[in-house]
Structure 1
Amino acid sequence: MGDTGPRHVTVAAADGALSPRHDWTPAVWLGAPAPGGLALPSARPSLTGLYAPRGVWLGDDLLVVADTGNHRVLIWAHRPRFDGAPADVVLGQPDPHSEGPAAGGRGPRRGLRLPTGVLVTDDGRLVVADAWHHRLLVWDTVPTTHDVAPDLVLGQPDATSVAANRGGPDGTGGQCGPTSLYWPFGIALVGGRFYVADTGNRRVLGWSDGLPTSPDTPPDLVLGQPDPSAHADNRGGPPGPASFRWPHDITGTDDRLLVADAGDHRLLGWTPHPGVDTDADLVLGQPDAVTCTETPYAPGRPDRLRFPYAADCDDTVLAVADTANNRVLLWEDPWAGGRPASSASVVLGQPSFADTGENRWSSVCPDTFCWPYGLSLHGGRLAVADSGNNRVVLWERGP
């Protein structure tokens, strides 16, 4: 796919009518090469295979993918230029052909269990949300060889503890606190602040000085709960402008914060970045801050979301993975009026906003999706972790 030139893709205009556009085209396909149907992963992993990838980070030249189903992270040291390009580095497994949680039983010191969020900081550190080990792993530099142990563990007292909320050895979980984690799926550096979507505790944690350097450094912000020990869905009541059911990803700009609250089928936004737990001033995907309606059998709409698991933005585009609707929604020039419009301006992966089928109820094509789960937007390129198709697709924006 990567060597056949641009794909001219038809997407929908904001009114739902078909409108040919050539702004965004799928350029390179990594992972499963199954154009005729849903791809099953290989029983033996490799440097070219992916199994339900759920996180992706895209830099100028570097690409990092959470190969979630294989319990590993893959790193491409240089921008992939052709379909099926092999990764250069495997983390979380002893070699490119091993799989299984905790490095196939070797233990959590180097092993991962369903990693999801990935990012590389401005100073070159790699951070991985090792979600089902309830921790974050930090490498001081991006590894260039396989099976490198992390330099720092956050959310757990040491490199071998893996229970939820720093719980006991039975794995039943401990008490939610300011430095504990329970299914941390999303991580982000936004405006110099470091954020974690502590999904199982239904909250977002924030450190105003950036990535913490110790597992005992408490956050400056607990967003979505009344105190650091609380962890109930939507604060134990109905959804509201200061609650989460399933916060899963974080993005924003220097002066705004956006959280993909997947369980409430919406994005919540704060301008400027909140310093304390407070109400959001922006809601996308729902008509208001107290509604969380899911419409699985109704036609799609440009102003509704269904399990949005990921979001990313820059100064010109806001991209949202509308996961259960098998599409990516784009808001172009979202900050022109100070805040995004209620409706997206472009849909990727479907012929119109009304369509929501997996791979358009047809076959896997370069521009179709089956549960897109992770996004990374960078310099006119968009990386999509197309989880149900066991692949990552790199899209490019034309001039």
Structure 2
Amino acid sequence: MEMVNVECEEQEMKINNDEDLANSLTIQIIISSSYLRRLVMTFSDLMKQAMVSTIIRYFIFILFSFTVRVESQFCRGISQYDQCSLNSACACFYIAGAIDTGICTAIFTDCSKLVACKSPDNLCDEPNHRCIHHPLCHNLPVCYLVPSFNEQLCPPIAVMNTTTTIPTTTITTAAISTTTTKTIQQLVIPNIPVGARWAQNGTNVAGGHENGNATNQLNEPWGLFVDDDQTMVIADTWNHRIIQWTMNDKNGQVVAGGHGQGKQLDQLYWPSDVLIAKDTDSLIICDVGNQRVVRWSRRSGTTQGEILINNIDCFGLAMDDQRYLYISDTDKDEVRQYKIGDKNGTIVAGGNGRGAGLNQLNNPTNIFIDQQQTVYVSDYNNHRVMKWNKGAKEGIIVAGGQGQGNALTQLSSPQGLFVDTLSTIYVTDPGNNRVIRWPKGAQQGIVIVGGKGQLYYPIGLSFDRHGNLYVVDSWEHRVQRFSME
């Protein structure tokens, strides 16, 4: 793929209009040189999907009281529609009224959905929309949805912090009550020997038949939960569904969603993670595109879910043995602990603004909770794994933290996370297409699989009770099992 040279430089843009609160927008763009993430999608892969016209709709609307932070990517020094990311599904759209500055975002081909900007100030009424030029659709500038969560699809060349003020949207849902505090072992953690090794060539245990929506296919899956009997529950993200796969089956079974992307209770919109709640025999799902956490019963005949938590930019989920639910919030850069039925939760990691301090996180993704309620977090943009002891005010770096890179002391956008009984950390390192094992107290990790063409952007990770490793090989649209030798 031909690389595009994008000039990145520090810049600051401010747009003010005192007459209308909804148009009062202050943008501070800080662009610093950084590593390009190794996130590659070929155009041919994209065209195989019947979803090209809806790619843009997966982005999260970050709406909370008085403040919205939009993460997106600006491009300079290149032409309209030029590739501005290693992902060829993204292009540069010039900003109306700006000089030589565009927004790098996903290609949206449904021109009929676009409306003209309000002249003469090039304003947009819809939240999270920006006025851009799109000459293939309209001669005049149009309002275009700017993603608030495009780091998975359009890896940013630079980090931009945007603050805006808009009205708050509130959705009310009924609380889900709980009356017992019975302790149930939520996750069986295998005893993995210190010198354990895994087969270097994995076995396809789900998907692997190119991308598609048949029951023997997956489409860029992200999250994974492996049950005691080796049943896999997979967040089939681009298919907007949760699919269950029993060991040795040729086809999976759709157990949540699968009715297209949408916000109805029988639909999902870019699910990123899933777990099985043992006490209620239900699935708890992070429904990214709908900014909610939902629960679906696993009982036969279930046709829709119920909302547990709304208006949350969730990404990762975990549950401890006391039935507390933990959720990472990529907008607030925090992890919260919830009792089922609670809408507010308690901060247990981060929550001190976006940053690289020991009391901060920067786009937390996957999480893991041990039996002492210790919180482990994949700190995506800080390229590290953080450990927060119960009640701690700041975390401890337990893997990475030496900048983005491919050395054994480094990680590149870590995601999937698992911690064994010896406190050894296992983390997917998608920017380096590998899985790293990081022993407790070690100064560097060990590559246990990948790095030699076996994986293509691995995200989710788990183990079964026998110590076999399961990896969501996202861009190969499959789950692979690596047997412990």
- Structure 1 distance, partners of 2:205, 2:357, is 39
Give yes or no for contact 2:230–2:247 (8 Å, CA) kept in 1.
yes
Among 333, 347, 355, the alignment partner of 1:282 is 347
SS in 2 for 1:196: strand
Cα drift, residue 42 of structure 1: 12
In structure 2, which of residues 295, 302, 312 is the aligned counterpart of residue 206 of structure 1?
Answer: 295
Aligned counterpart for 1:248 among listed residues 315, 319, 344: 315
The TM-score with structure 1 as length reference comes to: 0.57
Question: For residues 326 and 345 of structure 1, what CA distance do their matches in structure 2 show?
Answer: 14
Is there any run of 5+ residues in structure 1 with no aligned partner, and where?
Answer: 1-36, 44-51, 63-78, 158-162, 166-175, 226-233, 235-243, 288-292, 352-356
Preserved CA contact (<8 Å) 1:252 1:314: no
SS in 1 for 2:415: strand
The within-5 A match list for 1:1-399 is 60=190, 81=197, 85-94=200-209, 99=210, 101-102=211-212, 107-139=213-245, 141-143=246-248, 148-157=250-259, 163-165=260-262, 176-190=263-277, 192-193=279-280, 194-207=283-296, 211-219=298-306, 222-225=307-310, 234=311, 244=312, 246-255=313-322, 256-270=324-338, 273-275=339-341, 278-287=343-352, 293-295=353-355, 300-316=356-372, 317-331=374-388, 334-335=389-390, 340-351=391-402, 357-359=403-405, 364-380=406-422, 381-397=424-440
Question: What residue is the counterpart of 1:72 in the other structure?
Answer: none
Change (3 A) 1:263 1:58: farther
Deviation at 1:53, TM superposition (A): 11
Distance 2:367 2:238 in 1: 21
The answer to whether the Cα contact below 8 Å between 2:295 and 2:305 also exists between their aligned partners in 1 is no
Name the CA distance, whole Å, in 2 between partners of 1:131 and 1:92. Answer: 13
- Do the aligned partners of 1:179 and 1:215 also contact (CA within 8 Å) in 2? no
Rounded Cα–Cα distance in structure 2 between residues aligned with 1:205 and 1:371: 26
Counterpart code for 1:294: R
Identity of aligned residues (%): 25
- Give the distance between the partners of 1:39 and 1:263, measured in 2 at CA: 23
Which residue does the alignment assign to 2:47? none
For 2:273 and 2:237, locate their aligned partners in 1 and report how far apart those are by CA, in whole Å.
9
**Root mean square deviation of aligned Cα:** 3.5
| Structure 1 residue 398, shift from structure 2 partner | 7.4
- Supply the distance in 2 between the matched residues of 1:369 and 1:195 (Cα, whole angstroms): 29
Q: Give yes or no for contact 1:384–1:393 (8 Å, CA) kept in 2.
A: yes
Where does the alignment leave 5 or more consecutive residues of structure 2 unmatched?
1-35, 43-150, 154-186, 443-485
Structure-2 change in CA distance of 1:38 and 1:217 (3 Å): closer
Shift of residue 191 of structure 1?
5.6
Task: Please state whether the residue corresponding to 1:372 is helix, strand or coil.
Answer: coil
Q: List structure 1 segments (4+ residues) > 6 angstroms apart after TM superposition.
A: 37-43
Q: Which residue of 2 aligns with 1:28?
A: none
Alpha-carbon distance, 1:391 to partner: 1.0
Find the counterpart in structure 1 of residue 107 from structure 2. none
CA contact (8 A) 1:261 1:308 kept: yes
The residue identity in structure 2 corresponding to 1:177 is: Q
Deviation for aligned residue 1:393 = 1.3
Amino acid in the other structure paired with 2:269: Y
- Change in Cα spacing, 1:108 to 1:263, as seen in structure 2 (3 Å) is farther
The residue identity in structure 2 corresponding to 1:116 is: W
**Alignment partners' CA distance in 2, 1:38 and 1:262:** 18
Is the alpha carbon distance of 1:138 and 1:358 closer, same or farther for their aligned partners in structure 2, counting shifts above 3 Å? same
TM-score relative to the length of structure 2:
0.48
Contact (CA 8 Å) 2:328, 2:334: kept in 1 or not?
A: yes
Q: Secondary structure at the match of 1:324?
A: helix
CA drift at 1:58: 9.4
Preserved CA contact (<8 Å) 1:191 1:254: no
